[in-house]
Chain A
Amino acid sequence: MSIEVEEKISKLTEVQKRGNGLRTEHMVLNMGPQHPSTHGVLRLELELEGEIIKKVIPHIGYLHRCFEKHAEAMTYPQVVPYTDRMDYLGAMYNEFGYAVAVEKLLGIQVPERVDYIRVIMGELQRIASHLVALGTYGLDIGAFTPFLYCFRDREKILNLFEITCGARLLYNYIWVGGLSHDIHPDFVRLTKEFVTYFKPNIKELNDLLTNNKIFIDRTANVGVLPKETAINYGISGPNLRASGFKWDIRKDDTYSVYNKFDFDIPVGQGLMGTVGDCWDRYYLRVQEMEQSLRIIEQAIDQIPEGDVSSAIPKRIKPPVGQVYSRVENPRGELGYFIISNGGTSPFRVKVKGPSFVNLGIMDELSRGHMVADIIAILGSIDIVLGEVDR
């Protein structure tokens, strides 16, 4: 190389050097809104330098129907079916959270039987939701079989919900002050059968997917989320715990009867790579299913006798005031902020949805990774677009 050329190259910027003196620019790639791996209607605008991701801009709102505006036009009990339709994979828990919030505002105590049934339903819902998360995550990465196994087991949980309230996806079961129906006479027996049936299946899932070499190669050390960043971004639920932070609303800001049960809060340990990587987030959900089974086993034997509809108020008219109440739903911290002006319908309902918040970390997590890792990262965050857009 002549001195002249060398001099010329030394004056080039860093980006031009990579293009051997030619002008280079980032490529913008559009992913979604109709894409099987976006788990709904989500559009990601990816800014790429070759295969490397420089920036991710999520565009949301395709499913927006303004739940909060609807809620202002409804009476308090009428809002319950609308909450179902936010996180449609964790519908039972959305109702649970709403009921807890309004009860706090009203200052009423529900019968213990109601609390026990709510906890059992909530934990069954958590298992069902995690099964979808784990199954579709495998599907995104390229493992088809675990998806079928997960859905086979989820079906059994949906059957339990069906004999309870007739619905399989959107229940309208947990009401303010009580429940719409008491449990079916067979429910206790069938739930016990399910627990015995499901326990060995977690090991089966581990053999199929968790410890699969290809799966580990795709997910370990990818999308590492440090603890401090996670807290600052408001990340909650399994994603936060996978970063090594022991934080669970069920223990740290307890509600209902969760303080009566003995269960552990699993945290990410970086078994296959770094603490807080995609594999940790995946495996945390597996461990959470085991803990949920433990809670169900304890609760199902202790359901007290009682009337599940005795505490349902005839007319719900909370005093003037406001409340922020949160529960630990399968995806994280689900908060309801309700303002009452003393009327029969809420003045303002604001939902802090865990999926909405967790999706905000996409840009931070994906920078510097390859395009293919976007799928692994997005799947490990486990979002439901119905709740992101509300």
Chain B
Amino acid sequence: MKTAQDIFNILKEKFGNSVLELVSTQPVEPFITVNPLVVNKICLFLRDNEELLFDNLMNLSGVDDANGKTVKAEDGTSKVEGATLSVYYHIESTSLKHKVVLKVSAPVEKPDVESVALIWRHADWHEREAYDLIGLNFLNHPDLRRILMPYDWEFGHPLRKDYKDPEFYLGMKVPY
């Protein structure tokens, strides 16, 4: 059984700069932030390393951090900068009984995250859901389609904090 600090040290040694930091100021559970473009390699290592054996992905959730700052340009227009979308991976080992939380963040303009759907098949539908509702783009996902919203939904991703309902969908009035 390993603590988050032990796992962080192992990952830091193996992956160097791709593993960013261990955030343990949380009241309940600490998490490790990693690079979104190597998260698949880190997850494969976590699953197959004999000391870690993280065989069970408990949950995968996408989050709109809504942390952008409004910057005013010289010509008077303002735009939001620095906003990120995040993915949290809650992983556990059923044999060694330890858990870890990984977090990746990607800029909202180019929210690319490597898919872990082929490492834990469980992630397949959760990644589709995160793509559908948050708008994260999972690279190398086997089947990245919308899952809960209609396939022809073209009004964005509902769980974004700045999402607005469309006025009409297929001729039906949406706000009631």
Looking at the complex, which one of A319, A360, A389 makes contact with B27 (CB distance below 8 Å)? A319
Query: Is A68 part of the contact surface with B, judged by Cβ < 8 Å?
Result: yes
Number of residues in A with C-beta < 8 Å to the partner?
Answer: 35
Interface of A is mostly: mixed
- Contact across chains for B59 and A350 when beta carbons are under 8 A apart: yes
Q: Find chain A residues with CB under 8 A from B61 CB.
A: 337, 348, 350, 352
In whole Å, how far is A63's beta carbon from the nearest beta carbon of chain B?
Answer: 9
A373 at the interface (CB under 8 A from B): no
Count A-B pairs with CB separation below 8 Å.
88
B68 CB–A CB distance under 8 Å: no
B122 contacts A232, CB within 8 Å?
A: yes
Distance, CA A318 to CA B160, complexed state (A): 22
Query: Does any Cβ of B come within 8 Å of A257's Cβ?
Result: no
Say if the beta carbon of A335 comes within 8 Å of chain B. yes
Contact A69 B159 (CB under 8 A): yes
Judge whether B147 and A335 touch: CB under 8 Å: no
Q: Which of B55, B56, B148 has the most A CB atoms < 10 Å from its CB?
A: B148
Query: B10 interface residue, CB < 8 Å from A?
Result: no
Within the complex, which residue of A68, A245, A247, A326 is in contact with B159, where a contact is CB–CB below 8 Å? A68
Identify which of residues 95-133 in chain A touch chain B, using a CB-to-CB cut-off of 8 Å: 104-105, 107
Contact yes or no, B90 A232, CB < 8 A: no
Interface residues of B (CB under 8 A from A): 26-29, 31, 55-59, 61-64, 88, 90, 94, 97, 101, 120-122, 124-126, 133, 146-150, 158-159
Complex Cα distance, B94 from A247, in Å, reads 8
Determine whether the beta carbon of A234 is less than 8 Å from that of B28: no
Q: Could you tell me if B56 and A324 are in contact, using CB atoms closer than 8 angstroms?
A: no
Shortest CB-to-CB span from A245 to chain B, Å, is 8
With a cutoff of 8 Å between Cβ atoms, the chain B residues found around residue A60 in the complex are 147-148
Q: Is A166 an interface residue (CB 8 A)?
A: no
Q: Chain B residues with Cβ under 8 A from A335's Cβ?
A: 58-59, 90
**Which residue of A is nearest B143, CB measured?**
A57
Give the distance in Å from the alpha carbon of A348 to the alpha carbon of B133 in the complex: 12
Min CB–CB distance B52 → chain A (angstroms): 15
Task: Quote the shortest CB–CB distance from B69 to chain A (angstroms).
Answer: 16
A324 to B122, Cβ gap below 8 A? no
Shortest C-beta distance, A324 to chain B (Å), equals: 5
